Amino acid sequence: MKCTGVVRKLDELGRITLPIELRRNLGVGDKDPLEIFVDEDTILLKKYQPADIFTGEMEDLIDYKGKKVSRESVLKLAEKAGLKISE
């Protein structure tokens, strides 16, 4: 992990502000979703990238009831259900 030298205090609501230079360097725009990960005493923020809920793949996604599923997973599920799909 690389130290940025930036220190921020939490406000009374538990929020922090990410410096504009850091957001620009990492390609994080206003209102971009961030994922939060915890590893022991470390908090990691990562720009959220939607992925297939079954495989984690990020290509060729379909939105189904608020969840992302790849076309490949849909075809495999159809096959597993005994359905014949012609493309």
- Predicted local confidence at residue 50, as pLDDT: 86
Cα–Cα distance for residue pair 12/87, rounded to 1 Å: 55
Do 13 and 44 lie in one domain? The reply is yes
- Predicted local confidence at residue 19, as pLDDT: 93
State yes or no: pLDDT of 13 exceeds 90.
yes
Cα–Cα distance for residue pair 75/83, rounded to 1 Å: 9
Per-residue pLDDT tens over the stretch 22-65 = 999 989 999 999 999 999 999 999 888 889 999 989 889 999 99
Enclosing domain of residue 74: 49-82
Do 14 and 33 lie in one domain? The reply is yes
Q: How many CB atoms lie within 10 A of CB 17?
A: 9
Do 54 and 44 lie in one domain? The reply is no
Q: Which amino acid is at 74?
A: V
66 lies in a domain?
yes
33 lies in a domain?
yes
53 lies in a domain?
yes
- Predicted local confidence at residue 62, as pLDDT: 92
Cα–Cα distance for residue pair 20/24, rounded to 1 Å: 6
Do 55 and 71 lie in one domain? The reply is yes
Q: Under a CB-based contact definition with an 8 Å cutoff, are residues 73 and 52 in contact?
A: yes
- Which domain CATH number covers 33? 2.10.260.10
